[in-house]
């Protein structure tokens, strides 16, 4: 290849999703990214071994730390996101939990919004507290003053989802980032439902972006995976983060100061947490994700087009009580949706029916094209009842505070012919009128 598309940051999103971060000349000119199905790599000689383990030389030694297939995936998401570096994980939950462990130590707090994926809520409310890290929830996530009021000397991050699961809430990311930064605190955004095609949180001040790559990035429901991307430029060397100061001092002889400061978060995430907690992504999974990501922008456009039509159809249906989809003009997040999501607020929506829980369950049983499954972001359309599945482990009161009731259904709109999807829903809704 004479033209180095893999390394050209000026290219458009769709070109990058096909080329960024992979140079075939370094891999026997294989056009597809090779799957390095190996657990270990030859060290060569003693001096090289020492350089690898002291991080003076980039390279591969043991696949749990890193492998070349995953490295391409990490460079590709970094390019799509406009960040400095990324780390891949075996699942979205591994990406989130390792991120939070990298940020907080016993005695610290993570400030979060309430409209989160059930697994993240459980992590913050029940699991991390067992290790002395407290999840603190903002009282009113639509109100910037609420964030400032909840920040304490122990806060180590503000954590939110760009499209909150499952009611698709949107918060003022830029306003929240500004507040967090005034206190020297990073903003972490789970951007799973939006993908970098619809929203790039770094452009609004986020410092870390997490993904369940299982969803739209992979796009076909074949692979569980997670990604963490760092923007670069956040000052970690302050009194709030003594763990980063120690890490920096340990590494500074091996890595240039600029490089180290730009990717301090992801370096520590890899060297401490990925390496020794072990949530490594298999190279075959990384390959599947790279395949999926090649069509991300095209799929997202079709997902959103279908979702807008379906939300409008549902909002006008007499059996439907409420549709949560911020592109609808009456939605409480509509103004934020217009500001942050000019390409549309993704393709997941929540729905409540006038007939309550029994009607919701009847719809679940009646649909024929929508699959009854807990996933989202698949090319195929999916439906689920969050209270009995994705948010099952969240207490009823907390669930309702996050907008999930016994009769809430969540739809993940796929890329099928939209007329077929509408016909399927119309048929199911007729059964509960």
Residues numbered 6 to 35 that lie near ligand PLP (CB under 6 A) are: none
Q: Rounded CA gap, 426 and 122, in Å?
A: 35
Q: Which is nearer to ligand PLP, 141 or 190 (CB)?
A: 190
User: Shortest Cβ distance from residue 198 to ligand PLP (Å)?
Assistant: 14
Q: Which of 78, 88, 192, 297 is close enough to bind ligand PLP by CB under 6 A?
A: 192
Closer residue to ligand PLP, CB minimum distance, 66 or 195: 195
- Rounded to the nearest whole angstrom, what is the least distance from the CB of residue 392 to ligand PLP in the complex? 12
Q: How far apart are CA 90 and CA 111, in angstroms?
A: 25
Q: What is the 3-state secondary structure (H, E, C) of the chain?
A: CCCCHHHCCCCCHHHHHHHCCCCHHHCCCCCCCCCCCCCECCCCCHHHHHHHHCCCCCCCCECCCCCHHHHHHHHHHHHHHCCCEEEEECCHHHHHHHHHHHHCCCCCEEEECCCCCHHHHHHHHHHHHHHCCEEEECCCCCCHHHHHHHCCCCEEEEEEECCCCCCCCCCCHHHHHHHHHHCCCCEEEECCCCHHHHCCHHHHCCCEEEEECCCCCCCCCCCCCEEEEECCCCCCCCCCCHHHHHHHHHHCCCCCHHHHHHCHHHHHHHHHHHHHHCCCCCHHHHHHHHHHHCCHHHHHHHHHHHHHHHHHHHHCCCCEEEEECCCCCCCCCHHHHHHHCCCCCCCEEEEEECCHHHHHHHHHHHCCCCEECCCCCCCCCEEECHHHCCCCCCCHHHHHHCCCCCCEEEEECCCCCHHHHHHHHHHHHHCCC
Question: In the complex with ligand PLP, which residue's Cβ is closer, 82 or 164?
Answer: 164
Binding mask 204-243 for ligand PLP (x = CB under 6 A): --------x-x---------x-x-----------------
Comparing CB distances to ligand PLP, the nearer of 117 and 244 is 117
92 scored as a contact of ligand PLP (CB under 6 A): yes
Q: Residue count at the site for ligand PLP (CB under 6 A)?
A: 15
Taking CB under 6 A as the binding criterion, the range among 86-94, 257-265, 316-324, 380-388 that sits at the site for ligand PLP is 86-94
What's the min distance (Å) between Cβ of 34 and ligand PLP?
24
Strand-pair partners of 410: 350, 384
Q: Any contact of residue 297 with ligand PLP (CB under 6 A)? A: no
Sketch the per residue contact string, 153 through 182, with ligand PLP: x for CB under 6 A, - otherwise: --------x---x-----------------
Cβ-based nearer residue to ligand PLP, 23 or 222: 222
Q: Minimum distance from CB of 84 to ligand PLP (Å)?
A: 22
- Length of the chain equals 433
Which of 68, 119, 219, 344 is the binder for ligand PLP (CB under 6 A)?
Answer: 119
- Eight-state DSSP code of residue 41: -
Q: Is 117 in the site for ligand PLP (CB under 6 A)?
A: yes
- What character string, x for contact with ligand PLP (CB under 6 A) and - otherwise, covers 327-366? ----------------------------------------
Residues in region 262-291 near ligand PLP by CB under 6 A: none
Q: Taken in order 101, 145, 151, 177, is the CA torsion positive or negative?
A: positive
Q: Is position 91 an interface residue for ligand PLP (rule: CB under 6 A)?
A: yes
Nearer to ligand PLP, 227 or 328 (CB): 227
In whole angstroms, the minimum distance from the beta carbon of 121 to ligand PLP comes to: 10
191 near ligand PLP, rule: CB under 6 A: no
Closest separation between CB of residue 426 and ligand PLP, Å?
Answer: 27
Is 81 a binding residue for ligand PLP by CB under 6 A? The answer is: no
| CB-based closest residue to ligand PLP | 92
Which is nearer to ligand PLP, 374 or 431 (by Cβ)?
374
Measured distance between the N- and C-terminal CA atoms of the chain, rounded to whole angstroms: 61
Question: Of 148 and 398, which CB lies nearer to ligand PLP in the complex structure?
Answer: 398
Residues that bind ligand PLP (CB under 6 A): 91-93, 117, 119, 161, 165, 190, 192-193, 212, 214, 224, 226, 376
């Amino acid at each position: 290849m004479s033209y180095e598309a893999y390394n050209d940051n000026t290219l458009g999103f769709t070109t990058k999703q096909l080329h960024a971060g992979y140079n075939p000349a370094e891999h026997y000119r294989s056009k597809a990214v090779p799957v390095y199905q190996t657990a270990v790599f030859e060290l060569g000689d003693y001096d090289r071994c020492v350089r690898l383990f002291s991080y003076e030389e980039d390279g591969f030694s043991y696949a749990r730390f890193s492998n070349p297939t995953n490295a391409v995936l990490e460079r590709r998401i970094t390019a799509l996101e406009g960040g400095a570096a990324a780390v891949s994980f075996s699942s979205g939950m591994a990406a989130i939990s390792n991120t939070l462990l990298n940020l907080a130590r016993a005695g610290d707090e993570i400030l979060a919004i309430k409209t989160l994926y059930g697994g993240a809520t459980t992590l913050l409310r029940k699991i991390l507290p067992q290790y002395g890290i407290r999840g603190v929830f903002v009282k009113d996530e639509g109100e910037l003053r609420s964030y400032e009021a909840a920040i304490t000397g122990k806060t180590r991050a503000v954590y939110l989802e760009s499209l909150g699961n499952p009611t698709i809430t949107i918060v003022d990311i830029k306003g929240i980032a500004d507040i967090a930064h005034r206190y020297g605190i990073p903003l972490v955004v789970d951007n799973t439902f939006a993908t970098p095609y619809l929203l790039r949180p770094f452009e609004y001040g986020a410092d870390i972006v997490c993904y369940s790559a299982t969803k739209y990035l992979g796009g076909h429901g074949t692979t569980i995976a997670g990604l963490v991307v760092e923007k670069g430029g956040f000052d970690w060397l302050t009194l709030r983060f003594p763990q980063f100061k120690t890490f920096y001092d340990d590494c500074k002889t091996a890595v240039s100061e600029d490089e180290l400061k730009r990717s301090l978060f992801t370096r520590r995430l890899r060297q401490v947490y990925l390496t020794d907690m072990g949530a490594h992504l298999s190279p075959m999974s990384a390959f599947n994700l790279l395949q999926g990501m090649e069509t991300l922008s095209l799929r997202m456009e079709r997902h959103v087009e279908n979702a807008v039509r379906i939300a409008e159809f549902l909002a006008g249906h007499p059996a439907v009580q409420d549709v949560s989809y911020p592109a609808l003009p009456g939605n409480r997040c509509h103004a934020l949706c217009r500001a942050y999501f000019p390409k549309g607020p993704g393709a997941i929506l929540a729905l409540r029916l006038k007939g309550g829980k029994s009607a919701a369950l009847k719809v679940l049983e009646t649909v024929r094209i929508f699959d009854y499954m807990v996933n989202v972001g698949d090319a195929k359309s999916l439906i689920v009842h969050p209270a009995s599945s994705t948010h099952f482990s969240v207490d009823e009161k907390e669930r309702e505070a996050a907008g999930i009731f016994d009769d809430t259904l969540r739809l993940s709109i796929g890329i099928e012919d939209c007329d077929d999807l509408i016909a399927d829903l119309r048929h199911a809704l007729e059964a509960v009128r």
